A and B are shown apart, each in its own frame.
Chain A
């Protein structure tokens, strides 16, 4: 177990956690807060799935900011492997070392020297395990569903034992267990082995009230009434069955900021049509709604 002093003070209670995140302008529901609280207390990774743009990545950033910890982010992609995520030997420097000392060292001595930690290039997972200072770092493994299934296998040792084994150096264990947040957009099913090692939470689209609250906090100069109009419009848009891609909260925030930048204070057909591309990211959706459906959506109460 980690030294209790490394657990951030706000993690003493769920309410404390919610307040701390609220100070970072992150609006969190109690269910998700409980999952984060338990991840902190049980020292288990937290897998967060949900719709794109609904705050999965943001929660890791908010947690790191609230605790003053480092946020170490590993963005997953197809082909991600150990050398990009865990560690790699600095081959050019090793070679240089060999050339420098080939006359005054034996081969055995050289072999020992070049596999020293100073030749180790630390990638995000290893950096998270080694930590820095007494505060638990936040390790964000973002969009794990983009990585290959083989990469999930690589993660297992890190997620369950918070250690990695480097053949030349031995096993490196975390002194301060990081708070690990994994996110997935569910473009594919993650393996059972990873899921079993994690607590789980799901972030869906927020209701209108919560979306207004998010708008108020993240776009501070937005008038209250305008925020309600925007949230209500986005909720109506999101409820359309035929959308190829529904707008997330991130899109709502961008749209609100754009309307504000254009000097708007209420929803008018012209500016809404011109900026609809910030909400709808599919060409067919954009064309259909801009051409045919916008008046109906705007007119709805």
Chain B
């Protein structure tokens, strides 16, 4: 005959509730490791009095790792611990054992362990297919790209960073050639009784890349939003000095969206920022606004990355003029066109033709991660003559 299970002590019941709380946080996407749980347990032991606010503050300090995490901890804390009258964790005395604290099992986590919020839908009127300033917003249907694409973007972004960091910086690095590194040579000579057997050299570390992304988020670019956002996020992650601006019929800085944000979270926030940005593009007007407000950030070490299909409502003249001014101040201008890799692509729109003389390289997002290889993007040197070179596939790449 089975004996009735021993009722749990108050401490054990509290631990069971605490475990339920941690599981609930994990369900909400918070990455609470075992170490953080142990820290919380120890923290509770150190608190002079375990009132609700002290407990909440201990949870915040030990379980959160970002401001977004703090908000999640607060929300779940209120939901979970306010329900003590009807506990989320069934009372141990009823069951006689530590109850299953969470409806979700560990096995149901995404295999990568990454937080994966569901795709974000921003409802909007139907897309009518016209391009005007007042064209209705076609809506933003955002989703995560595959891990393979993310990895490819990161590799590409790192290569891009290396390519655009061409100027010597302030700090020194060991190098196979260059000025003699007296300090290290002297240090090394200590191993050989003070004899300078091996001469070590040093060189200026290349200055970190300095990038401005101007991203066209108008209606015609909506099909590419997911791919391009993943790419821009990877670039921002790889290149710290990156400022991101989104434009359509107005321009807005999005850098804060990327700063300190994981890719899924930034994507979630993007939906809210893009709502209402559909419709046509006024590239020249937006670039003029950018140049007026942020022209001071353009330096010879800066690379400007314009992401646009070049479908523009404005006249080519003003665009040509503003690009000329931008190009004069920066190291290089790269134009990423989602259609550039398509067979038979010709930069035929008025905006693209106006832009070409001031663009060092025009390429497609697909080519971007592969500066080496078959579809290569190799031209990150200072500008020279700018012929249009027909590609083997029949499309055009603007080379230096």
Contact = CB atoms under 8 A, between A and B. Distances in A.
B300 interface: no
Contacts of A30: 53, 57
Interface string B169-211: 1110000000000011011011101100000000001001000
B208 A34 contact: no
Interface stretch (B11-19, B62-70, B339-347, B372-380): B62-70
Contacts of B64: 200
A94 B190 contact: yes
A204 B33 CA distance: 26
B36 A196 contact: yes
A49 B61 contact: no
Interface in A1-52: 13-14, 30-31, 34-35, 37-39, 41-42, 44, 46-47, 49
Nearest to B40: A38
Given A38-B43, A111-B191, A186-B259, A95 B186 contact: yes
B240 A44 contact: no
A292 interface: no
B48 interface: yes
Interface string A91-119: 11011001100100001001100100000
Interface string B31-43: 1010110010011
B60 interface: yes
Contacts of A187: 240, 259-260
A217 to B, nearest CB: 23
- Residue among B61, B65, B186 with the highest chain A CB neighbour number at 10 A: B61
A95 B240 CA distance: 40
A91 B43 contact: no
B187 A42 contact: no
Given A91-B183, A201-B61, A98 B39 contact: no
A200 B46 CA distance: 17
B106 interface: no
A283 interface: yes
B67 A202 contact: yes
Given A14-B48, A284-B293, A91 B190 contact: yes
Contacts of A198: 65
A200 B61 contact: yes
Nearest to B54: A34
Contacts of B190: 89, 91, 94-95, 98, 111, 114
Interface residues of A, number: 46
Nearest to B260: A186
B296 interface: yes
Contact of B240 (A39, A107, A188, A195): A188
Nearest to A33: B57
Interface string A160-189: 000000000000000000000000001111
A163 to B, nearest CB: 18
Given A98-B194, A102-B193, A284-B293, A44 B262 contact: no
Interface in B275-289: none
Contacts of A92: 186
A189 B54 contact: no
A136 to B, nearest CB: 16
B230 interface: no
Contacts of B66: 49, 195, 200, 202
B62 A38 contact: yes
Contacts of A204: 67
Contact of B261 (A14, A189, A195, A199): A189
B58 interface: yes
A92 B31 CA distance: 49
Contacts of B191: 111
Interface residues of B, number: 45
A13 B47 CA distance: 8
B63 to A, nearest CB: 8
Given A30-B53, A34-B57, A42-B42, A89 B67 contact: no
B60 A31 contact: yes
Interface in B239-257: 240
A19 B69 CA distance: 29
A37 B205 CA distance: 41
B64 to A, nearest CB: 5
A68 interface: no
A114 B36 CA distance: 43
A293 B158 CA distance: 43
A200 B61 CA distance: 5
Contact of B35 (A91, A98, A110, A196): A196
B39 A102 contact: no
B272 to A, nearest CB: 14
A78 interface: yes
B48 A199 contact: no
A204 B205 CA distance: 36
Contacts of B262: 189
A107 B193 contact: yes
B57 A31 contact: yes
B61 A13 contact: no
A133 B70 CA distance: 37
B48 A78 contact: no
Given A34-B58, A49-B66, A202-B70, A94 B48 contact: no
Nearest to B188: A91
B395 to A, nearest CB: 35
B194 A38 contact: no
A196 B30 CA distance: 12
Contacts of A196: 33, 35-36, 65
A195 B65 contact: yes
Contacts of A49: 66-67, 260
Given A39-B61, A284-B293, 8 more contacts: A31-B57, A34-B47, A38-B43, A49-B260, A89-B190, A94-B186, A187-B240, A202-B70
10 contacts: A13-B48, A31-B61, A34-B61, A38-B46, A39-B61, A41-B46, A187-B240, A188-B240, A192-B31, A200-B64
Interface of A: 13-14, 30-31, 34-35, 37-39, 41-42, 44, 46-47, 49, 78-79, 89, 91-92, 94-95, 98-99, 102, 107, 110-111, 114, 145, 186-190, 192, 195-196, 198-202, 204, 283-284
The 10 residue pairs across chains A and B that have the minimum distance between CB atoms: A34-B57, A79-B171, A98-B194, A35-B61, A186-B260, A91-B187, A41-B46, A195-B65, A91-B186, A199-B61
